[in-house]
Every structure is written in structure tokens, then in C-alpha cells.
Amino acid sequence: MSIKIKEIQAKETYELRHQVMWPNKEKEYVVLENDKEGVHFGLFKDEGLISVVSLFIK
């Protein structure tokens, strides 16, 4: 089993955001206005994305 964290693009967070945070909303709902300003990380288990973190620094 391989576990790793790496920086990802905002669009790579959308599927998990939708499944976990807003499953009853339209997929477009998970796209945040300031996604381009954020830094996004993914937790991968055996190459599968299992968790995401989006950081927004003001």
C-alpha cells in the first residue's frame, strides 16, 4: 500500500467535494469563486484520490 500527499489542481478536487460535501447539489456548485487563488492537495492511496484539502491564504 502506498500513501502520498501531493499538490493538485482545483478541478481535481471537484468529484470528492461533490460526493462528500454537497452530494445533493449540482456538480457546478462545488466550484468555488476563489479556487484559482487556493492551493490544493490530494491524499492518494495506491494512486487513488481519497481526500482533498483546499487552502486559501488571505
* pLDDT for residue 51 is more than 90: yes
CA–CA distance, 11 with 58 (Å, rounded to integer)? 21
pTM (global) more than 0.85: yes
Q: Please, which pLDDT band fits residue 58 given cuts at 50, 70 and 90?
A: confident
* pLDDT for residue 48 is more than 90: yes
Task: Give the max Cα distance, the chain.
Answer: 37
* pLDDT for residue 40 is more than 90: yes
- Quick one: average pLDDT of 28-50? 96
Q: Please, which pLDDT band fits residue 43 given cuts at 50, 70 and 90?
A: very high
Whether the CA torsion 29, 49, 51, 11 is positive or negative: it is negative
Strand partners, 7: 41
Query: Three cell numbers at 32?
Result: 468555488
Query: Three cell numbers at 17?
Result: 467535494
